[in-house]
Structure 1
Amino acid sequence: MPKKKTTRILLAALAVLIVVALLVGLFVMMAGMTLFSSAAEQKRRQDAMNSGSMCAAPMISADGKFANPMVGPVTSPFGPRPNPFGPGVLPPGFTSEEQLTFHYGADIGRVSTGTPFYAAASGVVEGVEIGGSDGGNAIRIRGDDGNMWVYLHAADGTTVVKQGQRVEAGDRLAGAGETGAAKGVHLHLAVKQGPEEKPIDPVAYLAAQGVTLGQGGPTPVESAKKVGASSPPASEKSVSADAPLMPGGGTLRVPLPSGQTLPLLPEQQRNASVIIGVGREMQLSDQAIIIALMTAFQESSLLNLASPAVPESLNYPHDRLGVNKASVGLFQQQHTMGWGTVQDLMNPELSTRTFFEGHDNPGAAPALGLLDLPGWESMSPGVAAQTVQISSFPDEYHKWENTARFLLENIAGADVAQCHSGPVKEGEETDPEAPNDQKESSGEGSDTVTVPEGITRESIVTAARSGVGGEYKWGSAEFKSWDASGLVAWVYQDQGVQVPRTAPWTVGTRTESPQPGDLVAQDWNPDRNRWEHVGVYVGQGRMVSAVNESTGTREHPVTQTGSDPVYFDILGGQ
């Protein structure tokens, strides 16, 4: 071979090697940027896993400057509202009803006294007020963003910060309470913008920072890889290649249909734990939980997926971006197909309940869940999953059965109550005597009521369902314009049963075997000796209640509005 030709070949080979080396180096660098871009973020994720906070998504924003202060529903948003104390009522500290009919902050409620809340923004504590007449125990922090952050109604003796102290987003401040002018235990968060301290909407402001008030903060979108869902069918490649294990992530390896094993991401383990926890709380069989796990693995690779085709979904906590158009969440359901709101579908706990229980759509056909299917127990798990999902790829679910069984055997179910009020902190315990205290202090069963002849449980349920779609109006008991106890009073009184307006349990008998038409009471408040939420039980684990101003009156799972429900038979065993 001529010498010049040999030289050219060697030079060409050398050039190829250099290009390959550069590409490999670039790939490694990009992978490193993706996987190691934020050691603090990764540590926070792992700390969240280790702490047992399995239901909530990470609560710190991607840049670490903002946080969700407390997990729970926004019970009263920023803006106009009725006077929460009743028309014309002015509690101490207020000189005008106008101060009460426009809400200059946002409330996170349905939590117990002392539930910890945290700094929503980094900054310096400018003031700690104890015993104020309007806001009660208050904390004011000048944020690094230039805004004043105000936290009101903290429980007595829970404040752990002092004036002049530096706090970072996510640092503990105090516990939720009912001090000052308050209706129930909650955190009132206010944001006052700039030197003028102009009140602005905390929900909208935090959303712009990547945090959803009450629900935690989303995984950073910029570092999230896209994951395919059921179109095309999920494959082992999509799980292993598109959902790489984060450094320091989970070590549990799960068997795949091919016989290979794959280490789970912390997000995948968290979501599996939620599915198992919901199933256990609902007292469902292992078979039902396995079907749900199979479905979630096939649809989303056990990741809570948002979709660019559904912009609203990007506002809620999510693990990755999906590519299946209008489908979102763990089970890739569509809000346009009657599976519920985008917000509910992006909540792993609620979307799991919806998979099991379906979703009612007044005036339209319901979306049927697993428990709605006659004879689902006798179906093969893959067929049962397909019957719920109605997928274009009906034969893809069955292959995940062994994987799902392994998950059920090796992952503990999350305490789904944590999804509403946060994890129980070390050293905190529940009072085993609380039920007896409730019986004595609430006055339950202390009175009687006459039930007219001909009144049936079915008529009570029909009356309750006639109110679905009504507005929430505090202090009112008018048809479709009521608060929670107002709805209950209207329903029973419409049928001739004269229950008390604000304490209907006083004419009921506690029951461990609820039937349609019974009273549901939730969220016992020992400071007020009463339950904070009530509704009418309609069967199959569901109730009708006036939830809040933003949601109105709806039929929903009992567990959606509170934990530890107590049931009362108002109709005397009829």
Structure 2
Amino acid sequence: MLLIVFVAVIVGATSMSSCATAVSGSGLQSATRVQVDGLTEAQLQLARNGVAIGKQRGEPEAVILAELAAQATESTLRNLANPAVPDSLNYSNDGLGYDGDSVGPHQLRASVWGSVGIATLMNPTYQINWFYDQADRIPARDRMAPADVAQAVEVAKVNAYAGQMDLARNLYAKFANLDPASLSTAQAGQPAIGCGLNGAGMLLPGASSDFGSAIIAAAQKWIGTPYVWGGGDQNGPTDGGFDCSGLTLYALYQASGGRLRLPHFTQAQQDHPAAQVVPFDQRQPGDLIFFTSSGESSSHHVAIYYGRNDQGQDLVLHAPQSGQTVTIAPLWHGDRLDVRRYSIPADSGVGSHD
């Protein structure tokens, strides 16, 4: 309890920071289009940004390998929130960690590094740059093994980073052909990837149910994944991507712990027994919005209502159309909009059929 109170004092005043801390490398946000056994797209995007930012900064290969090994060891390549740092739960994350007051892919302690504000601390791009900043201050780093560079930066009780070097080398090889000249670099004062509306580390919308928040958390891990017609099932993308109803059936299945599996068709999702009709003015984050063209009886598109931005504009999280990727975008009007809110069945058999 004392730890939680102490952490709140450190980060509470800046928990809603603009996340505009200048960074030397801004990374990438599109789909990786690679596969590594045992790793999700979200993990691969963190790994790719470890390489991309390292290359943007001109870091040597050994230091980039050290960063990858450190991410893999500290957080298994996940942007972790921590209940001991309550404000961290308000930001998009890949799960929870329980190591003291540590958060993020490099498990930075809020009580030590939290002066930048929790919005910045939960930004994985900031944490990757933090690692490289620390490594650049090590005088002998160019003569050190990558695992020892990781240990010198992280100052862990036990140097376990050598155990992740094979994975680090594999990941580096996957992304080694990134051209630094083609990667944009954030300007001073501009937010890095992970701030604002897109990417891991974004501020989650408020005023939603726990189930609604879980639906958003499940879907937003696939931001940047290509649209594929007919793509997606309860386990994730198929044939390399999602279509609109594939993304929603995945998100509701995952958020419900497998108890709610919607059909892979928009109108069938709209008419599902677990769906409650909600007036548009009562919409909440996590509700599904169905789009029906004038004169048509069946909806042609579905999106997850995300909430409003700081200008009061409605946002949706969805898989738009061929040639685009899963994204957060302003809600558009023109079609008839029908809102549905879903309840988790008490009996696991409800909604378990196609």
TM above 0.5, one fold?
A: no
Choose between structure 1 and 2 for higher RCO, CA contacts under 8 A separated by at least 6 residues: 2
Report the structure, 1 or 2, having the larger strand content: 1
- TM-score, normalising length: structure 1: 0.26
- TM-score, normalising length: structure 2: 0.41
